[in-house]
Structure 1
Amino acid sequence: MGSILVTGATGNVGKYVVNYLNGRDSDVVVAGHRIQELEKSYPGMKAVRLDFEDPSTFEEALHGVDRVFLMRPPQIGDAEVFRPFVEAMKAQSVRLVSFLSLMGVERNPFPPHHKIEKMIEEASIPYAHIRPGFFMQNLTGVHAEEIRKDREIFIPAGNSKVSFIDAEDIGKAIAHVLLNPDAHQHVAYTLTGPEALDYVDIANQLTLLTGEKITYAKPSMLHYRSRYINERGLSPEYVNVTMALYLMTRLGTAKAITHTFKELTGDEPRTFFEFTKAHLHEFERKDDGDSTNDPFDLKEANV
């Protein structure tokens, strides 16, 4: 077989896809915007620059490739940006593209993931859409600033429940799919953790494990949008996508639990409690100068 192209290879999911593929009789090509970061993270591995808004980067990235892990950089909200790359994969006769999508997106046409899924299907490329629940890493990533500084979870999800999943588990499942492309064609897999929690549950678990009182702020959509754009400095396009997802979450779209991860890998998914114990350092208080407003550091957060 040919090589496997892993886009977003230094991101929350991409790095685990690479780790689980590496050493399993697979030739991996890591791709992203920052070639030096890729070469530093994966010495000895082929690294290529890939910019979905620059078709001149496609030929080198896809050379010798027959399988692709595709993720949408969070700063790109327009699904049409991906059409030239999808056409390039079709021209390459890619055997399988595993696209990192969203849980419930088949019933929600608003996030760009919905249109990208349809774009891949209409191109007649064999696909295995991966539709995970919300990443546990959302709490250690984009939403960690308020937890560290204010000891509160500032997410406009109302009273909704979420079946969080560890990004490492997602990467492991994707690696299984890419290593067996003939067994996973024209399918969509919804991956979740083993339990559905609301954000009060999350705050209580964080309180127990950190030893400090952490609360759920339960902000309104407008309060959230104002803070994340005007104070956090994130792009309106990115924040609007997250608002659409949290609106759907309020309608109960993120609470279902599946057993697909175990069916694909043979392992049990990680619980949020286990994840938090392993990442307690991410919730330690930091000085104001330690926070970041760089939206590119969001990697492939799924909110």
Structure 2
Amino acid sequence: MILVTGATGTVGREVLRLLVRRGEPSRAMTRDPARLSFVGAGVRVVPGDFEAPETLRAAVSGVEGVFLLTAPGARVPEHDLAMIDAARAANVRKVVKLSAIGADVGPAAWHAPGEQALAGSGVAWTTLRPSSFASNVLRWADSIRAGRPVPNMTGPGTQGVVDPRDVAEVAVETLLGTAYDGLALTLTGPDLVSVPDQVADLSDVLGRPIRTVDVAPAAAREHMLAGGMDPTVVDVAVRGFQVVREGGNAVVTGDVRRVLGRPARAFRVWARDHRDTLLGAIE
């Protein structure tokens, strides 16, 4: 039995789908069970709240493995530790934590306490540190629909943009196996791409011209705060933009290939496979 947290999100939803396809008994944890109407046979939906320890204890009871995904924000350490404590008390065999690239040293350092707690928990663990998700480009849909240029927060900086499907596949392999116990895997796409590179691929795939406009970090901060985003999330995002802009996230690894035995999917493949979704979002 595998418990999946963050089950309504991009990666968690795909992890559930893959577990169902492989016939693995699964539980999906959520604060709002109505949002999980998509789950298939073999998945039990359980209520759970990282700030209510009793619900976590119930969610992990009888569970063999946990996919631990906590929402970005200042409470990531608290939420990670709550689930790790519950998993340890329930004698869970394995926890796979979704972290972020550079979590030990970079802007996403809020993942570091959870990583450290896992390493000292006595529970088998694997940490996944993905780079920027290909699916993040869906945030540009409003700009594309309105004929406005896509905002480029990272200038000419490049990243090993990763397909969320690859992250989910690696998560399932590490949950069900032992070969990568005790390791932190950095998950990237096969090559380095910038925002202009991504926009060029999208223009080709969608058959429409798309432009970019450079947005300075200070302006990005003002826009996100005006939109009501959590200031702690904004701070991390802006630091992350600056790191990428300065070349600090120009990282490509072979960890996806190492686990899955095939190359990581390129951004263009993600765009092509999600063409209908992209068109639906912008039309």
Q: Is the 8 A contact 1:69 1:98 kept in 2?
A: yes
CA distance in structure 2 between the aligned counterparts of 1:148 and 1:112, rounded to whole angstroms: 34
> 1:150-229, aligned counterparts within 5 Å?
150-180=147-177, 182-229=178-225
Query: Relative to 1, partners in 2 of residues 1:197 and 1:23: Cα closer, same or farther, differing over 3 Å?
Result: closer
Deviates more, 1:20-29 or 1:131-140: 20-29
Residues 1:261 and 2:256 aligned together: yes
Q: Which amino acid aligns with 2:49?
A: D
Residues 1:244 and 2:239 aligned together: yes
CA distance in structure 2 between the aligned counterparts of 1:96 and 1:286, rounded to whole angstroms: 37
Query: Relative to 1, partners in 2 of residues 1:120 and 1:145: Cα closer, same or farther, differing over 3 Å?
Result: farther
Shift of 1:272: 1.1
Give secondary structure in 1 for the equivalent of 2:146.
helix
Q: RMSD of aligned C-alpha atoms?
A: 2.3
Cα deviations by residue, 1:183-212 (Å, 9 ceiling, x for unpaired) = 221111111111101111112222222232
CA distance in structure 2 between the aligned counterparts of 1:44 and 1:154, rounded to whole angstroms: 42
Q: Is the 8 A contact 1:109 1:115 kept in 2?
A: no
Shift of 1:121: 1.8
CA distance in structure 1 between the aligned counterparts of 2:218 and 2:41, rounded to whole angstroms: 45
CA distance in structure 1 between the aligned counterparts of 2:238 and 2:122, rounded to whole angstroms: 32
Q: Which amino acid aligns with 1:26?
A: E
Q: Is the 8 A contact 2:26 2:42 kept in 1?
A: no
Give secondary structure in 1 for the equivalent of 2:154.
coil
Deviates more, 1:72-81 or 1:162-171: 72-81
Q: Is the 8 A contact 1:66 1:95 kept in 2?
A: yes
Can you give the 5+ residue segments of structure 1 that lack an aligned partner in the other structure? 291-303
The corresponding residue for 1:24 is 22
The corresponding residue for 1:9 is 7
Shift of 1:73: 1.1
Q: Would you identify which runs of 4 or more consecutive aligned residues in structure 1 move more than 6 Å?
A: none
CA distance in structure 2 between the aligned counterparts of 1:45 and 1:279, rounded to whole angstroms: 26
Give secondary structure in 1 for the equivalent of 2:10.
coil
Q: Is the 8 A contact 2:205 2:271 kept in 1?
A: yes
The corresponding residue for 2:118 is 120
Cα deviations by residue, 1:243-302 (Å, 9 ceiling, x for unpaired) = 222222234332221121122112222111121122234444868xx9xxxxxxxxxxxx
Cα deviations by residue, 1:117-165 (Å, 9 ceiling, x for unpaired) = 122223333210011111001112x343333334422242122101111
Shift of 1:47: 0.8
Residues 1:273 and 2:271 aligned together: no
> Which fold has the larger relative contact order, with Cα–Cα distance below 8 Å and residues 6 or more apart in sequence?
1
CA distance in structure 2 between the aligned counterparts of 1:34 and 1:173, rounded to whole angstroms: 26
- Using structure 1 for the length normalisation, give the TM-score: 0.85
Residues 1:235 and 2:263 aligned together: no
Q: Is the 8 A contact 1:229 1:236 kept in 2?
A: yes
The corresponding residue for 1:61 is 59
Give secondary structure in 2 for the equivalent of 1:268.
coil
CA distance in structure 2 between the aligned counterparts of 1:219 and 1:109, rounded to whole angstroms: 19
Percent of paired sites with the same residue:
27
Deviates more, 1:10-19 or 1:206-215: 206-215
Q: Is the 8 A contact 1:106 1:114 kept in 2?
A: yes
Give secondary structure in 1 for the equivalent of 2:181.
coil
Shift of 1:74: 2.6
The corresponding residue for 1:147 is 144
The corresponding residue for 1:299 is none
Query: Relative to 1, partners in 2 of residues 1:234 and 1:282: Cα closer, same or farther, differing over 3 Å?
Result: farther
